[in-house]
Amino acid sequence: MSKALIIDDEQQMRRLLRMLLESRGYEVCEADEGQRGLQEAAFHRPDVVLLDLGLPGLGGLEVLKRLREWSDVPVLILSVRDQEATKVQALEIGADDYVTKPFGSAELLARLDVIQRRRGPRHTPEIIAGPLKVDLLHHEAQIADEALKLTPTEFALLKVLTEHAGRIVTQNQIVKQVWPGQSSDPSEGLRVHINHLRKKLGDRGIRIVNEPGIGYRLEA
Amino acid sequence: MSKALIIDDEQQMRRLLRMLLESRGYEVCEADEGQRGLQEAAFHRPDVVLLDLGLPGLGGLEVLKRLREWSDVPVLILSVRDQEATKVQALEIGADDYVTKPFGSAELLARLDVIQRRRGPRHTPEIIAGPLKVDLLHHEAQIADEALKLTPTEFALLKVLTEHAGRIVTQNQIVKQVWPGQSSDPSEGLRVHINHLRKKLGDRGIRIVNEPGIGYRLEA
DNA sequence: GCTTCGCGTTAAGAAGGTGTGAAACGTAGA
DNA sequence: TCTACGTTTCACACCTTCTTAACGCGAAGC
């Protein structure tokens, strides 16, 4: 059975989440405040954390940062609208995904599934996401055993997205990985390369989804 | 000819093993560190791996675990006395056998034979891709039983490409194999030798295809 | 309804990689 | 020393890829 930790200051929200999660077979523990959340995480070792960004006292970002100092547990951010900048920060610190309040229960559970299925950076020469296979050693990419003809930049881009398949990758993260040591801002060109990549991927079960103002996500 | 990969941080040990193995007709490659060992294994696809348990950085057990995620290659563990528990762990993870340092050369070679016989048939000293046959033992290459007259560099180049026939080999990989221990960048000359090789291959069902910005691929 | 903002799409020039022939260089053997 | 052979270097034409700019579109906000 998976354990989930909810860190949120609103009692109603905690109750809602608890019901949802328990109906899915999770064992649930809660914290209404950041400091306590960290303690609970250390003690219970949850398999997934649901973290509210708008925490009083120790803020959500700070909690995430301290958590990441010693744990790789998947973290799902709960945020309200107009917290775009903060959401981006959270993803870059190491959050796995976010949902915006108010959210549908189906959406929440789906995202939970995805971030728990993820694996850390692979050390095999291949990354696989659904029908997509990225061979880092030979610089090859295949969909359902059919080779894709990619340019070096497109390959690097697809690699980053596939490594985090199902999760959002911020534009900053992408740019830093694909154009390392770049001074000027190539995020203009990013759109072009995303476009090319989408055309080459076609309609074969792999999509690149845009998250406006934040980044991109590869869906299998 | 069989390929062996040595992963050990002590240079003296590597040299000793290399001599032993080469005297037995093995082709040997080395790595002084775990991460590099995994890369070498992925690229060279050795027929047997000799793995030191006491590696700095990425430990021997960790290397073995990651190797076993994608490879069934026979692995012989090199351990020192008083590592009983670790040896057991290694065998459980998927090592095939172990020898304790210091070991006699006869014992090592015997164990190597055993664990290799356990796995399928021996490697042939030939690489074949379609109508192309590369005979490593006699340094000969044939297309449809017609011998090719190749220079040493051309032969080494064709060997690398044929070993990975159908897949992309990056320029870096080619250069490292054909011009080992070269400091200056011979990738200029690579183009020339590719050119020569293409001429000698002619139009007999074997093509060398360029992947711009990445490397080359041999197609049968 | 208008403006603003971010994204998708397209086109074209700039930048960089590749193929090819020839010349220069190094080396071993006669 | 000369010769033969293989390797490396160079120059240049050609092609692919990258970058930049412009424009259309839809969503969000005023």
Close Cβ partners of B45 (under 8 Å, ≥ 6 residues apart): B3, B73
The DSSP H or E segment spanning A108 is helix A105-117
What is the share, in percent, of chain A residues with pLDDT greater than 70?
93
Specify the higher pLDDT residue, A215 or B25: A215
Per residue in B99-137, pLDDT (tens digit) is 887 788 888 888 888 888 766 444 556 777 788 988 877
Nucleotide nearest to A190 (CA to C1'): D19
Per residue in A135-161, pLDDT (tens digit) is 887 889 999 889 999 999 999 999 999
Per residue in A160-196, pLDDT (tens digit) is 999 888 889 999 889 988 988 776 676 789 999 999 9
* Residues B45-53, mean pLDDT to the nearest whole number: 92
Tell whether B74 is within 8 A of chain A (Cβ): no
Per residue in A44-54, pLDDT (tens digit) is 889 999 999 88
> Closest Cα of chain A to B62: distance in Å?
11
> Under an 8 A CB cutoff, do B70 and A151 touch?
no
Per-residue confidence (pLDDT) for residue B121, from 0 to 100 = 46
* Residues B185-208, mean pLDDT to the nearest whole number: 90
Nucleotide nearest to A186 (CA to C1'): D19
Whether residue A207 is predicted with pLDDT greater than 80 in this model: the reply is: yes
Structure tokens at A83: 């917290």
Whether residue B35 is predicted with pLDDT greater than 70 in this model: the reply is: yes
Asked whether strand C has any atom less than 7 Å from the CB of A194, the reply is yes
Sign of the Cα torsion B120, B43, B31, B83 reads negative
Structure tokens at B11: 């240079």
Alpha carbons within 13 angstroms on the beta-carbon side of residue A8 total 23
Whether residue A106 is predicted with pLDDT greater than 80 in this model: the reply is: yes
Close Cβ partners of A9 (under 8 Å, ≥ 6 residues apart): A32, A33, A52, A54, A55, A56
pLDDT-wise least confident of A123-127, A172-176, A200-204, B163-167: A123-127
Residue B116 near residue B74, CB atoms below 8 Å: yes
Close Cβ partners of B145 (under 8 Å, ≥ 6 residues apart): none
Mean pLDDT: which of A88-92, B77-81, B118-122 is highest? A88-92
- Which amino acid belongs to residue A9? D
Domains located in chain A, CATH noted: 3-117 (3.40.50.2300), 126-219 (1.10.10.10)
Whether residue B216 is predicted with pLDDT greater than 90 in this model: the reply is: yes
Whether residue A217 is predicted with pLDDT greater than 90 in this model: the reply is: yes
Structure tokens at A109: 């559970």
Helix axes A171-178, A152-163, angle to 10 degrees: 130
Whether the link from the prior residue into A125 is cis, omega within 30° of 0, is no
Whether residue B205 is predicted with pLDDT greater than 70 in this model: the reply is: yes
> Closest Cα of chain A to B38: distance in Å?
8
> Under an 8 A CB cutoff, do A152 and B213 touch?
yes
Per-residue confidence (pLDDT) for residue A184, from 0 to 100 = 61
The mean predicted confidence, pLDDT, of chain B is 85
Per-residue confidence (pLDDT) for residue B183, from 0 to 100 = 62
Tell whether A139 is within 8 A of chain B (Cβ): yes
Structure tokens at B74: 């026979």
* Residues A71-89, mean pLDDT to the nearest whole number: 83
Q: Which residue has the tokens 């996401």?
A: A129
